Amino acid sequence: MSDIIQPRVLKGFRDFLPQAEMEREALLEALTETFRRFGFVPIDTPVLEYAEILLGKAGGETEKQVYRFKDNGERDVAMRFDLTVPFARFMAEHAGELYLPFRRYHMAKVWRGENTQRGRYREFMQCDFDIVGVDTASADFDIMATIAQAMSALGVPGASIHVNHRGVFNRFLAKAGISGKSVEALRVVDKLAKIGAEETRRQLAELAGDTAADEVLEFIKGGDGFEATLERMTRIAGGSNPDSDRLAELFGMATACGLSGMLTLSPSITRGLDYYTGVVFETFLDEIPEIGSVCSGGRYNDLASLYTRQRLPGVGASVGIDRLIAAFEALGRSGKRGGYTRVLVANSDPTLCAEYQAAASALRAEGIACEVYPEAKKLVQQYAYAELKGAAFALIRGPEEKGRGAWLLRNLSERANAEYASVDAVIAVLQGA
RNA sequence: GUGGAUGUAGCUCAGCGGUAGAGUCCCAGAAUGUGGAUCUGGAUGUCGCGGGUUCGACACCCGUCAUCCACCCCA
């Protein structure tokens, strides 16, 4: 009696009920449409990989978070913790079967065994899109333009893309004489927006001394327009250089495309992952920036070098769909819908079921989503069900209506009925509605 | 991984060392087939889980699981 197993899911893992899943799928469809519009093609890779593949270049933090175990054949395997590393392996393995430049999108779940928080889970979905095979400003810009289009397609009212170039930052570090501490410095600087200038300075001073800390703060100040910030960064970093030129090119393209308004040059964002080598970007929602970046990425010119001698420069970004959903929820504007049914064919007489099914078939043939209520019940209850499913209409035919040779179409929100002589007449009305 | 808060009906939440409550929702009826008002009646809980203290624990103690927040890191 009491030996039933308690239904539950692991910490950080979730079920998706229809309403949540319909919302998620709607977002994925918007992204898919965007990616295709920019010429990206889809790929997929295995959930499980050899641990050495995934962890080849991983730092200590990643290593701690990855789900790793021995499979039944004693192989050392791990679950993918992002889509970029598997993609690098994919490119190295299939370079001969592909073409360059190659632009792909990949929307799939990834796993990280870290602690949970709002919008942060152990199983979550990433939507990656990358362009591999070239190292040009145009490719960098394509990624940014795709982000911009994606935000628009997702119905985000306002978003800003913060961009920076690691190369410029590294030049600056070299000039300031603290290149040896670049990884730590990048990490501290990355937190500027979160911990404030004071604390950032303190941590930098601890790391590299007071003089260097002041220089770094001056460098990462930002905030007075893209071109002015770029000019100052470049000057402090030692003058004109190819990396600054890349940023200027990007800004030029953004201006030409009317996107410069959502572009911010933020010398303080660097991205934690160490495989980025060039431009990096993060995307923040104007309404709720504190939730963090909902789409981040950058240029990585050495990633596939772990798996191949062929040089495969790439640039890409990843949309955090779960974080986006959390943001929409926090903003109270998550789309609520009950289902896809537009017409519920009410079942008021079991002997007329063949007619109900025939009517439903006719509606579907015209592209109208409908379902037949599967048992004869009180109409009140069927209306309530129709409402749950988000149906706009109920199609009713009981003995009375049949006697009159009529079909009753009820507008559920207006609670108004109209009679029609045939299903075709009903279809005509629905197509006009 | 560290620290803090929370966990009671489907949902939102009260509660107290002595037999588990409200609102909402749900069900039935008033209206014997046409749902938003009203009225009447009704149903529902391993009080997250497991131990301990106690005559008695939903309450106190310990552990555990989950959620939220902060740190860390990141999407």
Q: What is the pLDDT of residues A32-61, one digit of tens each?
A: 999 999 999 999 999 999 999 998 766 666
Q: Across chain A, how many H-helices and E-strands are there?
A: 16, 16
Tell me the two tokens of residue A320. 């955090």
Q: What radius of gyration, in Å, describes the C-alpha atoms of chain A?
A: 28
Protein-covered nucleotides of chain B (CB closer than 7 Å) are 1-2, 26-27, 33-36, 46, 65-75
Task: Kindly report which amino acid residue has its CA closest to the C1' atom of nucleotide B73.
Answer: A61
Q: What is the mean pLDDT of residues A386-415?
A: 88
Which residue has tokens 């988000």? A390
State the CATH architecture for A18-330: 2-Layer Sandwich (3.30)
CA end-to-end span of chain A, whole Å? 54
Q: H helices of A44-176, where?
A: 51-55, 60-65, 84-94, 137-153, 166-176
Whole-number Å distance between alpha carbons of A129 and A143: 8
Structural domain boundaries in chain A: 18-330, 343-432
Q: What is the pLDDT of residue A59?
A: 61
Residue A346 identity = A
Distance of alpha carbon A129 from alpha carbon A394, whole angstroms: 43
Which of the pair, A428 or A378, is modelled with greater confidence? Answer: A428
Q: In CATH, what class is A343-432?
A: alpha beta
Q: Which two tokens stand for residue A420?
A: 């029609």
Non-local (6+) Cβ contacts of A175 within 8 A are A236, A237, A238
Q: Which of A44-53, A196-205, A214-223, A261-270 has the highest mean pLDDT?
A: A44-53
What string of H, E and C letters represents the secondary structure of A379-405?
A: HHHHHHHHHHCCCCEEEECCHHHHHHC
Q: Nearest nt (C1') to A396 (CA)?
A: B34
Cβ of A140 near strand B (under 7 Å)? The reply is no
State the burial class of residue A280 (Cβ atoms within 10 Å of its Cβ: 0-12, 13-18, 19+): buried
Residues 371-400 of A with CB under 7 A from strand B: 378-381, 383-384, 386-387, 396, 398-400
Tokens of A314: 């790439």
For strand B, which residues in window 282-311 of chain A come within 7 Å by CB? 292-296
* CA pair distance A210, A196, nearest whole angstrom: 17
Q: How confident is the model over A133-154, as a mean pLDDT?
A: 95
- pLDDT at residue A272, as a whole number: 62
Q: What is the DSSP letter of A5?
A: P
- Dihedral of CA atoms A4, A6, A10, A15 in degrees, nearest 10, equals 100
- List pLDDT tens digits, range A230-259: 999 999 999 999 999 999 999 999 999 999
Q: How far is the CA of A159 from the C1' of B14 (A)?
A: 42
Q: State yes or no: pLDDT of A363 exceeds 90.
A: yes
Helix (H) or strand (E) holding A280: strand A279-285
Average pLDDT taken over every residue of chain A: 87
For tokens 């559920």, name the residue: A412
